[in-house]
Amino acid sequence: MTVFIPTPLRVYAGGKDAVEIDAPTIAAVLQSLTEAHPDLRKHLFTAEGKLRAFVNLYLNDEDVRYLPAKEETAVTAADTLSIIPSIAGGN
Amino acid sequence: MGILHLTRAVYEAIRDHGEETYPHECCGALLGRAADDGWQVEAAVRAGNTRTDSAHNRYNISPLELVKIEREARRQGLGIAGFYHSHPDHPAQWSPTDFAEAHWLGCSYVITAVSHGKATVTNSFRLEGATEEDKRFEQDTILVEDENIVLERC
């Protein structure tokens, strides 16, 4: 599947805006992604190995946290995974 | 200090948006390319503020909307250079909330103060640092440009 890398993390993925990963589930895709690009890991996961709260994952146009199987959702080669850090704020 | 290069059109668009949504905060994304000294912004893309519960002092851009903005940016060969939002009747300075919710390292966060419905000061702050744990804001210099002519240094 294609994993789209957000602008600030591209420097840790060899400058690429998209990476092709062959793995069966979202969790496995993220594992393979961070094995191929180890510097991405600390930006996506806490020291305890949990996905950082501000990192949003979208399988195609669906928020992964609302999928029944969440990160254990099976994926196909035609799917895309978008990694999107949150953007919010205020005075 | 980094440089945020804005065309006059983008600069005005950011400020106009803040005036239109006053007394609520506006928000949007800045698309551009990395420059030697910072970012060259090519376009401002308006976004919806999902914080309808507290729009006068909070903003949030839906991640799905960001997915689509990033998709369009890729199509144009651009990246997300940063984001903009307004502070109604509040200084154009980042707040503790702005800092806590900033996660796009290397990107610029542009804030426009809108006083009684009129845009006043526009400032930009680059989110520097190697990780979420050592992030910090550093003020950019905004250069407003038109066809390679620097019109205004903010």
Q: What residues have CB less than 8 Å from B148, skipping those under 6 apart?
A: none
Q: Which domain holds residue A52?
A: 2-85
How far from B114 is each of A27, A84, B8, B83, CA to CA, in Å? 44, 29, 18, 17
Instruction: Let me know if residue A21 belongs to a domain.
Output: yes
pLDDT per residue as tens, chain B (154 positions): 799 999 999 999 999 999 999 999 999 999 999 998 899 999 999 999 999 999 999 999 999 999 999 999 999 999 999 999 999 999 999 999 999 999 999 999 999 999 999 999 999 999 999 999 999 999 999 999 876 555 566 7
Q: Which ipTM score applies to this complex?
A: 0.91
Using an 8 Å Cβ cutoff, are A90 and B97 in contact? yes
Q: Which domains are assigned to chain B?
A: 3-153 (3.40.140.10)
Instruction: Let me know if residue A91 belongs to a domain.
Output: no
Global model pTM greater than 0.90:
yes
- Indicate yes or no: CB of B51 within 8 angstroms of CB of A87: no
Residue A8 belongs to domain with CATH number: 3.10.20.30
Instruction: Let me know if residue A90 belongs to a domain.
Output: no
C-alpha distance from B81 to closest chain A C-alpha (Å): 8
Task: Name the residue in chain B with its Cα closest to that of A41.
Answer: B131
C-alpha distance from A63 to closest chain B C-alpha (Å): 8
Instruction: Let me know if residue A80 belongs to a domain.
Output: yes
Q: Please state, in angstroms and rounded to a whole number, the distance separating the CA atoms of residues A51 and B140.
A: 31
Task: Name the residue in chain B with its Cα closest to that of A90.
Answer: B58
Domain count, chain A: 1
